[in-house]
Amino acid sequence: MFRAMRILAATCVLCASASLTAQSAPDHAATERSAASGQSQAGGNDIVVTGKHAQATSSGEVYDEARAITRVGRYETYVVALPRFWSPVCPGVFGLHESYAEAMVERMRDNIRRLKIPLAKDGCSPNLVVGFAEDGKALLADLKRDRPEVFGSLPESEQAEMLADTGPVRVWNNIAPRWTGASAPPRDWLHASVWGQLDRTSMPVSYDIVGALVVFDGKAVIGMSLAQLADYATMRGLSHTRPASSAHPMATILSLFDEEGADPAELTRFDLGYLRSLYWDRPNASAANKLVSVNHWIRHATKSAGDR
């Protein structure tokens, strides 16, 4: 897996960096603050309103949105745990000018600290790798052709989806099972049933993200801030999720590349609630348990003075 990442990283270094390093990234957050304060670019008195209409979101709507972005089978929410990092996370960025890459890494490390997720020390070997490529789809297609063994951990359905996707981002979570049952593992422990557990909300098998790769198409990210890209990579790398539509009731960084909506400036209350539910509960809690808990952690994030 990570030999493949190094191949990708070396390739990314040769492409796409010029499109980002040739210009400074705009401060989207400052633009939104200016708009919210009623300052138009023309200097008039018009009030510019950005973002979604503020309204209460029900717990059911939050659950539905969390379910929609989560890669979990239709009938698996009560019988599987959601993947997450178990080892300390070490972010790394390739394919950008060094100063930009360092800024992205520091932003991701700040996110991980903020979420109280174990963080590897400086100088670690990256296991959450972010790359920038001229054509991410072609890059992964070449890798699939030349090194098919590195795709072995991905289900065939997810491989096909990733390779066929025409979107601007490719995300690859390398996931490994780990026995967490109440007794010694059976011979066929990968297919152990939850019905043998003392607590049926605790799965006998948890799933660890042992590595994640996020590849952006260079042309698609022009005009986006490094903070937006770092936050998007944080959300996709730390969880087994998919892109979101801006039509969802709660804003999410996962809709960053949805052309129909306003660009989120950073991780949102929904994103923080989702990641806290994923990481602050037991690693082998059922998917249903964690998806239901997202609403609780969103409320917690709203009250926390530390949240941006």
DSSP string, 111-160: HHHHTT--BPPTTPPPSEEEEEES-HHHHHHHHHHH-GGGGTTS-HHHHH
Average pLDDT over residues 169-176: 90
Q: Which of 183-187, 209-213, 291-295 has the lowest mean pLDDT?
A: 183-187
At residue 238, does pLDDT exceed 90?
Answer: yes
Is 297 domain-assigned? no
Q: Is-contact 227 263, C-beta < 8 A?
A: no
Residue 96 structural domain: 2-56+85-244
* Confidence at residue 32, expressed as pLDDT on a 0 to 100 scale: 34
Is 298 domain-assigned? no
Is 103 domain-assigned? yes
Is 6 domain-assigned? yes
Is 11 domain-assigned? yes
Is 212 domain-assigned? yes
* Confidence at residue 189, expressed as pLDDT on a 0 to 100 scale: 61
Distance CA 40, CA 210 (A): 47
Residues in the chain, total: 308
At residue 288, does pLDDT exceed 50?
Answer: yes
Is 62 domain-assigned? no
The CA distances from residue 274 to 29, 79, 90, in Å, are 22, 19, 20
* Confidence at residue 74, expressed as pLDDT on a 0 to 100 scale: 86
Distance CA 81, CA 70 (A): 12
> What is the overall mean pLDDT for the chain?
78
Q: Is-contact 199 210, C-beta < 8 A?
A: no
Contact residues for 64 (Cβ-Cβ < 8 A; gap 6+): none
Total domains, the chain: 1
At residue 139, does pLDDT exceed 60?
Answer: yes
Distance CA 285, CA 304 (A): 25
* Confidence at residue 193, expressed as pLDDT on a 0 to 100 scale: 60
pLDDT: which is higher, 261 or 186: 261
Q: Which of 36-50, 123-137, 241-255, 269-283 has the lowest mean pLDDT?
A: 36-50
User: Would you place residue 31 in the very low, low, confident or very high pLDDT band (cuts 50, 70, 90)?
Assistant: very low
Is 13 domain-assigned? yes
